[in-house]
Structure 1
Amino acid sequence: MRNKQREAYKDLEAEIRSFCELHNSLDARAFFEEMERASLLRLDWPEELGGRGWDRRAQLIVIKALAEYECPIFPDALSSGAPLIINLSSLGDRAFLLERLINNLSIWRIHANPGNEGIFWDQEESSLYVIDNREKYQLGETGLAEEYLAKYFSNGCLLQQWLSGIILSRKLSQTLKGSNENEVIEEEINFLAMEKLFLASESDNLQALRANSGKTKTYQLITRLIGYDGMARKSWEAGSNELPKFLKECLFLESIESQISLDENLIKDRLYEESLDKDER
Structure 2
Amino acid sequence: AEKFAALKREQALPLAINPNSDQYLEERLQLLDEQLATVTRLAKDNELPDAILTESGLKITPLDAAVPDRAQALIDQTSQLLPRIKITELLMDVDDWTGFSRHFTHLKDGAEAKDRTLLLSAILGDAINLGLTKMAESSPGLTYAKLSWLQAWHIRDETYSAALAELVNHQYRHAFAAHWGDGTTSSSDGQRFRAGGRGESTGHVNPKYGSEPGRLFYTHISDQYAPFSTRVVNVGVRDSTYVLDGLLYHESDLRIEEHYTDTAGFTDHVFALMHLL
Q: Name the TM-score, length of structure 2 as normaliser.
A: 0.22
Report the structure number with the largest CA radius of gyration. 2
More strand by share: 2
More helix by share: 1
